[in-house]
Amino acid sequence: MRPAPRLYIDAPLGEGAHALSPEHARYLGQVLRLKEGAELHLFNARDGEWVYTIAAMSKRGGEAEAQTQRRSPDPATDSPILFFAPVKRTQTEFLVQKATELGVVKLQPVLTARTIRDNLRIDRLESIAMEAAEQSERLTIPAICAPIDLKTLIDSPEPFVFCDEAGDQTSEPWGGSDGRAPLAPGTFQQTNQHPKGLLIGPEGGFTPEERDALRGCVHALPVSLGPRILRAETAAIVALTLWQASFGDLRSISS
């Protein structure tokens, strides 16, 4: 049997009836072909997840009746913020989907000299994040913020991880091997800081000036993600996984 559809609802959930919007009614009735009596799961961060059954449905909307609570709201946990320089549209959308699956609380676009600026559609990214949350059994939807400049991030006091693939020798490919940042896993284990966010650069990397500013920033923790140069979206997945393993919900109980 197909699992019940999971929909994010930004309205109170709980005992009683819930009105279905025309969009949800269309999706449930015409796309999924569900009939009255079918089960669906509605969720949000405040009320957790509830099992409902469809009580009435038409093209103009519908009604669902609450049955039981399936999950209580999640206790507050530490979740990372992803600071990312938008890349091409498809890759940015992929990055938003994967970062949502990996538990980010917020996605913050950061404009850098080499950032691709076109096609940053916040509303489209919000719906991708919502779908990824529905699919990955999250109760919360990460916020997608309006872009900020790199300088604003550098000037803010919160500690963050700077994913730095480069070395110091500007004449060498990828800056050579001198001045490379230490590997992320060891750095995360040893640091006394508790970085709240992770910064991933654009496809063309940071300019030497931007990298100098980041390396000079006391609350930016530079890390390497290994000896290969990763695409921005791969770097985001690797960095978030390592962050979750050290500071977040992939940490083993004993550490």
**Tokens 């019940």 found at:** 4
Per CB under 6 A, the segment of 7-15, 27-35, 95-103, 224-232 that binds ligand SAH is: 224-232
Give the span between the Cα atoms of 235 and 142, in whole angstroms. Answer: 19
Nearest Cα neighbor of 133 from 242, 10, 33, 255 is: 10
Rounded to 10 degrees, the C-alpha dihedral 58/59/60/64 comes to 40
Give the chain's radius of gyration (CA, Å): 21
When asked if residue 164 is in the footprint of ligand SAH (CB under 6 A), the reply is yes
Complex with ligand SAH: residue 40 or 220, whichever CB lies closer: 220
When asked if residue 4 is in the footprint of ligand SAH (CB under 6 A), the reply is no
Per CB under 6 A, the segment of 4-12, 50-58, 141-149, 161-169 that binds ligand SAH is: 161-169
When asked if residue 163 is in the footprint of ligand SAH (CB under 6 A), the reply is yes
What are the CA-CA distances from residue 121 to residues 91, 109, 124, 159, 164 (Å)? 13, 11, 5, 28, 27
Cβ(65)–Cβ(180) below 8 Å: no
Per CB under 6 A, the segment of 44-52, 70-78, 140-148, 201-209 that binds ligand SAH is: 201-209
When asked if residue 225 is in the footprint of ligand SAH (CB under 6 A), the reply is yes
Nearest Cα neighbor of 223 from 184, 195, 185, 191 is: 184
When asked if residue 111 is in the footprint of ligand SAH (CB under 6 A), the reply is no
The β-bridge relationship of strands 6-8 and 143-144 is unpaired
What are the CA-CA distances from residue 101 to residues 24, 61, 75, 79, 129 (Å)? 22, 30, 18, 12, 9
Shortest distance, position 249 Cβ to ligand SAH, whole Å: 22
- With CB under 6 A as the contact rule, the residue among 230, 241, 245, 250 that binds ligand SAH is 230
When asked if residue 201 is in the footprint of ligand SAH (CB under 6 A), the reply is yes
Q: Which residue's Cβ has the minimum distance to ligand SAH?
A: 201
When asked if residue 165 is in the footprint of ligand SAH (CB under 6 A), the reply is yes
Complex with ligand SAH: residue 7 or 200, whichever CB lies closer: 200
Shortest distance, position 185 Cβ to ligand SAH, whole Å: 12
When asked if residue 193 is in the footprint of ligand SAH (CB under 6 A), the reply is no
When asked if residue 205 is in the footprint of ligand SAH (CB under 6 A), the reply is yes
- With CB under 6 A as the contact rule, the residue among 21, 191, 224, 241 that binds ligand SAH is 224
Complex with ligand SAH: residue 96 or 232, whichever CB lies closer: 232
User: SS3 for 186?
Assistant: helix
User: SS3 for 227?
Assistant: coil
Shortest distance, position 133 Cβ to ligand SAH, whole Å: 24
**Tokens 């309006």 found at:** 146
Q: Interface with ligand SAH by CB under 6 A: which residues?
A: 163-166, 174, 200-201, 204-206, 224-226, 228-230, 232, 235
